[in-house]
Structure 1
Amino acid sequence: MLLSRALLKRHTVLPGFDLALGLTLLYLSLIVLIPLSAAFLKTFTLTWAQFLEATTTPRVLASYRLSFGASFLAALLNVVFGLIVAWVLVRYRFPFKRVVDAMVDLPFALPTAVAGIALTAIWAQNGSLGQYLPFKVSYTPLGVWVALVFIGLPFVVRTVQPVLEDVNRELEEAAATLGASRLQTFSKVIFPIVAPALLTGFALAFARALGEYGSVIFIAGNMPMVSEITPLLIITKLEQYDYAGATAIAVVMLLTSFALLLLINLLQAWARRRQGGVA
């Protein structure tokens, strides 16, 4: 008992548990809990009928479909190509590798408005790439998806990259020695190890895309019922001084996003348990 107390009271570089926990809860309350609580409290001023009217109009439902659908598809594509980019950066040596590695972080550093203007100029019908396409990209739902792919890729790459760096090459050599093909080695040895990281990257890319505003409004065209995202609709409500309506839509997005992210986290936990059981 005396030994355990002494261990608990031993000096550490960081503040003690009580102080660190208090600062953590205070910071999270100021930054996260209080703003979210304000959104819910403002929404509670509406009756149930008013809440349904504000959140289920055809225009709002169309924005839900575009925001959630484009975010999901963008995160899905980023999982595939994010894994490929991370694999190339980890497993191969080539000229200007550091430059390519730094380019992955460009969507992090680039202001979203600048990214939106650049993407619009590139994919417009008279743009450097859009002029060669038989279909429109800018000012369509496809443009929204392109912008969300752009801003979501780094989340997958930076989540998967350190996991690939830690993969033991001896496992691959052992699989090859036992006669496994490259596809079998990847699917049976490597993929189970990186699967939790891929799910984490997907969740981060999806959450980031769902709340994206700056890089989307320029390339989307913002046509109601066609290319209007939900964050823009919330801004429109605020400009009309419909604060309760804006927070009601925000609460729907928040709850739906939380449910989806919870599902992804459960899948991630299941993948880790399965990986541990196999190991």
Structure 2
Amino acid sequence: MTRNLLTTALLLFAITITAQEFDWKWAKKGGGYRVGHNEFTADFSQFSEHIKDIAIDVDNNYYFLTPVASTNTNYDGVPFDVYNNTETSNGYADVLLLSTTCDGTYRWSRVIGGGNVDEGYSISLDENGGVYVSVSVYNDMNQGNMTFIPPHFSESDVMPVFPPNALSLDNHPGHKKLAIAKYSQQDGSLVWRKFLQGDVNVFTSQGTISALHVSPDGTIRALVGLLKGTHLDGNAVVPDSFDYIIGEGANN
């Protein structure tokens, strides 16, 4: 009887919560008109435009991290440029870092990525005006008549272009994927960008990174998964006999 009463009480409580009406203060829309990578009418993709993470600073400004497709990309009518390739029917995705005031008014935006599929994971703030993002970028070699713009972290911070005779088995700085970048909370300008991997080729460049945890002083902690090689400025060595290693690191 006690279990039945408890179940009934929980159901009633759930119904009460569902019936509550939200008092929306404001709503804005943004993004591009084109579908994201592997997105179809009835099929949501991880690259579909959706808010992946939100942070709020001491002045109540908002910071959003979201995939963004292409074609007429804007936030509430304010346009911004992306780097996605538009020569295929299946669109690609960049990473949009967007800041607004507490009432949704546009402050600034920063697009991270290149011509192929790029993905943002998390966003975090410190107490000294820094906003941090963890991302994975894909620097694609040009394929025939298709031209892929290399990943950008700012207008001037761009990954190297592969030489015409580049081989996927060769180590090259352009194969690196996992990165943490710090931007200014004030205007979105890039403070620094750091790749976590050492020398990698197209096969050893895969990896993962968790949500970032940033202390007030800017110390960063994250779980990172890496394939064989020497990474994190020589502080992490993954032997050839290992398929994968996951480690926690801290750095500021």
* Normalised TM-score (structure 2): 0.22
Counting helix residues as a fraction of each chain, which structure ranks higher? 1
Q: Which structure ranks higher in relative contact order (CA pairs < 8 Å, sequence separation ≥ 6)?
A: 1
Q: Greater Rg, structure 1 or structure 2?
A: 1
